[in-house]
């Protein structure tokens, strides 16, 4: 099971979290978020690595942004993927993929991979889908062929996460073949629920606010215990 920890801002905290063996980290480039990473781009941010030296995949989270801004964030952090968390259309996703492949970052990323400047994994495009009912799940069909992963999150009025959970049983309605991450208010008390949740296309979970000391700063001890529980370490 992949573990993605979103809303990272602090260098030391990111490295501590990386040492727990997480697979992906999310960096939020949405100015209205209390975990906005954009104002951190002027300072050096060494690439977080796991204990074995392997790079953690870095995902930029964007909301209805311009392709130019996404490219700037990608260059700044050496992103391994982007997550669209707004009302981006399937056409927007398809056009971005084409733009990325022909962008400056798209051209230099293979060289960064060779030099260890980014993950060896292919660049990923993730689309967040807000969920409350089984009917909401069906929106995924519009994005098939446009994205690599879905992220099913709790529906709320504002863009971004709410810290609340949705009824995971509605995911029984998902019959697609695009892998997805489960998100939405997963906290330390949910370890057993996560272990018991099974869906053939669920490849991992997304964690954020329930493991924070403050917005953008994760409680490493609490996160470590949770990861040990779900991975049976």
228 pLDDT above the threshold of 80: yes
pLDDT in tens, 9-63: 999 999 999 999 999 999 999 999 999 998 776 667 888 999 999 999 999 999 9
Confidence of residue 185 (pLDDT cuts 50, 70, 90): very high
pLDDT at 204: 98
Q: Let me know: does 170 contact 136? Beta carbons within 8 Å.
A: yes
Domain coordinates in residue numbering, the chain: 2-231
Contact 161, 212 (CB under 8 A): no
Question: Which of the four pLDDT bands, split at 50, 70 and 90, describes residue 129?
Answer: very high
pTM value is 0.95
Q: Which CATH superfamily is domain 2-231 in?
A: Aldolase class I (3.20.20.70)
DSSP state of 55: B
Q: What is the mean pLDDT of residues 135-163?
A: 89
The burial class, CB within 10 Å (0-12 / 13-18 / 19+), for 157 is exposed
pLDDT over 70 at 160, yes or no: no
In 3D, which of 76, 77, 127 has the Cα closest to residue 97?
A: 127
pLDDT for 38: 82
Which residues sit opposite 4 in a β-bridge?
24, 206
Residue 157: pLDDT band (50, 70, 90) is: confident
pLDDT of residue 46: 82
Q: Specify which residues 128 forms β-bridges with.
A: 151
What is the chain's mean pLDDT, rounded? 94
Confidence of residue 76 (pLDDT cuts 50, 70, 90): confident
> Which H or E run contains 180?
strand 180-182
> In degrees, to the nearest 5, what angle opens at C-alpha 51 toward C-alphas 49 and 52?
90
Distance separating alpha carbons of residues 151 and 54, to the nearest angstrom: 24
The model's pLDDT over 93-124, given as tens digits with 9 standing for 90+, comes to 999 999 999 999 999 999 999 888 899 999 99
With H, G, I as helix, E, B as strand and everything else as coil, classify residue 174. Answer: coil
């Amino acid at each position: 099971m992949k573990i993605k920890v979103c809303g990272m801002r602090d260098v030391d905290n990111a490295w501590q979290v990386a040492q727990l063996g997480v697979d992906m980290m999310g960096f939020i480039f949405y100015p209205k978020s209390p975990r906005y990473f954009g104002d951190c781009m002027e300072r050096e941010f060494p690439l977080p690595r796991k204990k074995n030296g392997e790079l953690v995949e870095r995902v930029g989270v964007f909301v209805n942004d311009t392709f130019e801004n996404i490219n700037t964030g990608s260059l700044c952090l050496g992103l391994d993927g982007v997550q669209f968390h707004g009302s981006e259309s399937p056409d927007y996703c398809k056009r971005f993929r084409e733009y990325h492949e022909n962008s400056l970052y798209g051209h230099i990323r293979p060289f960064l991979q060779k030099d260890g400047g980014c993950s060896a994994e292919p660049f990923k495009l993730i689309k967040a889908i807000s969920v409350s009912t089984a009917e909401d799940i069906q929106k995924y069909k519009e994005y098939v062929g446009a994205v690599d992963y879905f992220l099913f999150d709790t529906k709320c009025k504002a863009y971004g996460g709410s810290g609340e959970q949705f009824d995971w049983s509605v995911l029984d309605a998902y019959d697609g073949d695009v892998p997805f991450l489960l998100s939405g208010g997963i906290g330390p008390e949910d370890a057993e629920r996560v272990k018991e949740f099974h869906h053939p296309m669920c490849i991992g979970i997304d964690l954020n606010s329930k493991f924070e000391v403050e917005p953008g700063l994760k409680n490493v001890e609490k996160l470590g215990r949770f990861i040990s529980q779900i991975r049976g370490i």
